[in-house]
Amino acid sequence: MKVFKALLSLFISIGVTVALNQPWGSVPALGRLLSPFEGFWQNAETVGQSSEQTISVKGAKEEVTILFDDLHVPHIFAKNDYDAYFAQGYATARDRLWQMEFQTHAAAGRISELIGDRAVELDRYNRRLGMAYGAEKSLEGMSNDPVSKSVLDAYTTGINAYINQLKPADYPIEYKLLGYAPEPWTPIKVAFLLKQMTQTLAAGADDLMMTNIRQQLGPALTANLFPDYPFKEDPIIPVGTRWDFEPVKLPNPPPNTETDSSVALNWQSHDPGIGSNNWAVGPEKTATGYPILANDPHLTLSLPSIWYQVQLVTPTMNVYGVSLPGAPGVIIGFNKDVAWGVTNVGADVLDFYRIRFRDNQRQEYWHDGKWKPVRRRVETIRVKGKPAVIDTVLYTHHGPVVYLPEDKPFRNNIPTGYAARWIAHEVDNGVKTFYLLNRAKTYDDYVTALSYYVAPAQNFVFANAAKDIAISPNGRFPLKWRDQGKFLLDGTRAANDWQGWIPAAQNPRVKNPPRGFVSSANQSSTDPTYPYYINWEFETTDRGMRINQRLTAMQNVTVDSLRHLQNDVYNHQASKFLPVLLPYIQEKDLSDPQKQALKTVRQWNYQQDTASVAGTIFMDWISRLEAGIWADDFPDNANRPLRYPNTDRTLQLVTEEPTSRWFDNVQTPNRQETIQEVVTSSFRATVDSLVKQHGPLGKTWAWAGHKGTSVRHLIPGLDAFSALNVQIGGGRGIVNAAGRRAGPSWRMIVQTGPNVRAYGVFPGGQSGNPGSPYYLNMLETWRKGDLYELLYLKSITEKSPRIQSTLQLTR
Amino acid sequence: MLPFLLIALLSAVAQLFLPWWSIALVTFGVCFWRSKTGWRAFGAGFLGIAVVWFVYALLIHLQTDGILTGRMAELFLKTKTPVFLLLITPLLGGLTGGLAGLAGRQVRAVFRAKPE
């Protein structure tokens, strides 16, 4: 009996302890997680603690001092460049280790290792796309350059110096929740991070949908509805700018560019919420007589924050700005002489080539009159708790065959049986661009730095204390015949291949234009006089036009007036559409609530602010109107994806072609619908749906609540670590582009001059730890449209009351 | 009283160096060495661990303004009140400790000729 009792109690005790020490499905190991000695409690950080800390770490060459200011921004003072990047790696890992590793795992197709087989298709997709292949090429490019290699090595060593001193109790909380441990950092992870940026910003493609449309409508109507230059445009390089170069010869298009897309599916299209604004105002228009530069990149708003502020000081540089956790150097920032910023270009740098294999063995494919060998690359996807998945990807000279005809693609938009030719597969050395920009003194330094840049192509805006301003849509652009890659391409014909590159020196660029400012908001890079083809479609020009109108009107520009412009919520699109649409509404067909809503819209001043009701109605209405016009002509079909003409073309249609056939609903053969009917019925549906959603017209319809901007943690569904329903105005197509999930991920304004002053904010905080007071501390300032002055220390001896703690790294 | 104090002290020290489950070893050991009844062994193990976990958790909670405790309470319990987490934490540690204490006592009993 005693023995039985002893064994039973022992069994229960061990059973309970073991059970609490391991995860159950998505429930983490509770004993470990709740233990105050090693669980989540250990991640709680004390508020307002000032401290002096000296840590000896392996890898630093000399002593490095890191001063942390009141926003927890590290100011790194190193005696040599190597140590600066070493310390940047160390400090970034200290605040963002989980994020930097998770993002590179995602890019590398390694999420299944963390969460099991539900991520296998996602991982397979990233690998089939050639993310790993591209990262290896990038690493090759960076390793061949001694400067970039040294920067990568220093940064990597710094991250590992931090990882090596961690005990499990110190791991960031996400490791504890998901139940894994950090692995050593390697230089290729930097390449993966940059690939992920390229995937976010330069992997959108409509080639397949456009091909389906061309098959349905023929080339002439397709060109009419999907034109190569917008109806309304104000391009980045001002109209009238002269191209002071002798262009290289353009390749000739093949006589027949038709392709068959019978088996095709399609590709992720670009998220219109992802874009950016930047501008620089020249000395003649500013109050101080020195240029002012502003930038706000719009990305999917996520936590830990996308950006990490840092100041790097060595004998060769003193730069401040934001970095991407996982990549060395400053991406957007300033030094005492220059400031720079970026927005996305949206170049067509991803094309699909239909592959003709010799037979089912798929050992050879037909190209340029010859059978050429197919290379095979084996991808091993490790899966948590399951055997690894082995995937063989076929490579042609174009690139990887993303999905074979018999595969079911992960995304509904990927053409099967096509190879992807993508800029991300090129050898590149992007780290060098930022290395040089961080140290730039003159306009020429900026031009030199840009020549190293490959992808994702960016509009690099520039200003300096020598009173220059400039902008350049810049990246490595393939040399193409016009519209090459607007549609799917036949991969057997050499004439369809990319034919080299636009020379870097001939990328569009403008310096000190007569209008006294430069700007970009993802619209067309140039007007049609630019001799080369970059893309046929860019973001709608609304933000760009609004910015240019405001900057044209402004005089004595200050940091504060530009801050107001960054937070401008004027709905330019509505100001173009509503005067045209409202007269078409047939009031006699409206119910009382619909009439009331119409009155609200008529009285609107186009301010898409938090309380705007008319703004809510317009945003909903415009998408219903587009569906009302186009859905019958371009029906949703999973096997044959199509898309609508863009909003600019729709504006042209309602403005200039009110009797067009497109207003007729082809699915009602006995009736001929008119523009009046489409406009009215879409308006009625909008109001009815909003009443259903929010009750009778009133405060509940307010824009900010309806939109529900949220800044979400990278782990889906982790609401407790997210900021939900942030009350902010603006949205898609508006200068303050705070949308539902995407928006200004960093706002910066730099006043250049003898004493540079800069201001910035991002929606989150410097720390990636949800248990830190610096996790979300900047959100409210961002929401209100305010900025913090950025503490730019000239030297380590400069005293500032904002310095709160010191960290010394010694050898 | 002595087993309770010993458990609290030894487990606190042990957890500075060893994984959380060292609490089970400590309570098992102490109760194996000295405990009067099964109930008392469980009680000493439970309280010895629970008090240490509670005090340490409370200290962290107060020092950090409860930033993380609030978020974790929302994550696990869908409530913004961190009080529940401050209760569940010692309960869980206490249960582990108590069961190990009981086991220590019962195993010891096997080796004894007569119960005390």
Choose the closest CB to A34 out of B24, B88, B107: B88
Does the beta carbon of B21 lie under 8 angstroms from any beta carbon of chain A? Answer: yes
With beta carbons under 8 A apart, name residues in chain B contacting A38. 15, 19-20
Kindly determine whether residue A41 and residue B95, on different chains, have CB atoms separated by under 8 Å. Answer: no
Q: How far is it, in rounded angstroms, from Cα A324 to Cα A304?
A: 11
Under 8 Å between Cβ of A567 and A783: no
DSSP assignments along A746-790, one per residue: -EEEEE-SSS-EEEEE-SS-S---TTSTTSSTTHHHHHHT--EEP
Average pLDDT in chain B: 89
Which tokens belong to A48? 């307002």
φ and ψ of A653, to 5 deg: -60, -50
What residues contact A662, with CB distance under 8 A and at least 6 apart? A629, A630, A633, A653
For the segment A667-699, what is each residue's pLDDT rounded down to a tens digit? Answer: 998 899 999 999 999 999 999 999 999 999 999
Cα(A718)–Cα(A750) distance, integer angstroms? 35
pLDDT at B88: 93
Question: pLDDT grade, residue A270 (50/70/90)?
Answer: low
Distance from CA of B14 to the nearest CA of A (A): 10
Kindly report the nearest CA distance between residue A53 and chain B, in angstroms: 20
Q: How is A485-524 classified by DSSP, letter by letter?
A: TTS-EETT-GGGS--SB--GGGS--EES-TTSEEEESSS-
Tell whether B9 is within 8 A of chain A (Cβ): no
Interface residue B109 vs chain A (CB under 8 A) = yes
Q: How far is A772 from chain B (nearest CA, A)?
A: 7
Q: How far is A15 from chain B (nearest CA, A)?
A: 10
Q: In this predicted structure, what is the pLDDT of residue A49?
A: 67
pLDDT for residue A264 is more than 50: no
The predicted structure's pLDDT at residue A265: 46
Quote the minimal CA–CA distance from A763 to chain B in Å. Answer: 18
Q: Are strands A350-354 and A489-490 parallel, antiparallel or unpaired?
A: parallel
pTM here? Answer: 0.94
Which residues face A380 on adjacent strands? Answer: A390
pLDDT recorded at residue A415: 63
Of A6, A41, A770, the CB nearest to B109: A6
Looking at residue A405, its pLDDT comes to 72
CA A15 remoteness from chain centre: 48
Question: Smallest CA–CA separation between A3 and chain B, in Å?
Answer: 6
CA-CA distance, A149 to A281, in Å (whole number)?
36
Our CA-based measurement puts residue B20 at a distance from the nearest CA of chain A, in whole angstroms, of: 6
Rg (CA), chain A: 28
Q: Which residue of A has its CA nearest to B32?
A: A6
Cα separation, A100 vs A777, whole angstroms: 20
Note whether A9 contacts B89, CB cutoff 8 Å. Answer: no
CA distance A301 to chain B (A): 19
When CB atoms are compared, the residue of B16, B65, B92 closest to A20 is B92
In tens, the pLDDT along B46-86 reads 999 999 999 999 999 999 999 999 999 999 888 878 888 99
Cβ–Cβ below 8 Å for B71 and A720:
yes
- Residue A128 confidence (pLDDT): 92
Query: Which of A21, A525, A434 is CA-nearest to residue A243?
Result: A525
Test A721 with B60 for CB contact under 8 angstroms. no
Query: Taking all residues of chain A, what is their mean pLDDT, rounded to a whole number?
Result: 93
In this predicted structure, the answer to whether residue A267 has a pLDDT above a threshold of 70 is: no
Residues of A in contact with B103 (CB under 8 A): 6, 9-10, 12-14
Closest by Cα among A302, A301, A304 to A97: A304
Chosen for mutation from B17, B31, B65, B67 (greatest number of chain A CBs closer than 10 Å) is B67
Mean pLDDT along residues A241-255: 90
**ipTM rounded to 2 decimals:** 0.94
CA A614, CA A379: separation in Å to the nearest integer? 52
Question: What is the tens place of the pLDDT at every residue in A159-204?
Answer: 999 999 999 999 999 999 999 999 999 999 999 999 999 988 888 7
**CB contact at 8 A, B110 and A6:** yes
Q: Do B75 and A9 touch (CB under 8 A)?
A: no
Question: Which of A3, A14, A32, A34 best tests the B interface by mutation, with the highest count of B CBs <10 A?
Answer: A34
Contact B15 A38 (CB under 8 A): yes
Residues of chain B found within 8 Å of residue A173, distances taken between Cβ atoms = 68
The Cα–Cα gap between A162 and A157 comes to 9
B-chain residues within 8 Å CB-CB of A5? 106, 109
Question: Residue range A308-319: average pLDDT?
Answer: 98
Question: Residues of B with CB below 8 A from A2's CB?
Answer: 106, 109-110
- What CA dihedral angle connects A264, A268, A269 and A274, to 10 degrees? -170
**Is the distance from CB of A86 to CB of A185 less than 8 angstroms?**
no
Q: Is A516 left (phi over 0), alpha (psi -120 to 50) or beta?
A: left
For range A435-464, the mean pLDDT: 97
What size, in residues, is chain A? 811
| B residues 34..93 contacting A (CB < 8 A) | 38, 53, 56-57, 60-61, 63-65, 67-69, 71-72, 74-75, 85, 88-89, 92-93
A770, B88: Cβ pair inside 8 Å?
A: no
Q: Which of A66-75, A368-377, A634-643 has the lowest mean pLDDT?
A: A634-643
Using a CB-CB cut-off of 8 Å, the residues of chain B touching A29 are none
Q: How far is A727 from chain B (nearest CA, A)?
A: 20
Domain ranges in chain B are 2-112
Residue type (1 letter), A524 = S
Task: Measure CB to CB from residue B71 to each of A3, A10, A770 and give the nearest one.
Answer: A770
**Least confident range of A318-322, A437-441, A782-786, B27-31:** B27-31
- Nearest residue of B to residue A36, measured between CA atoms: B57
Interface test with A, best of B60, B79, B112 (most A CBs within 10 A): B60
- pLDDT digit string, tens, across residues A620-638: 999 999 999 999 999 988 7
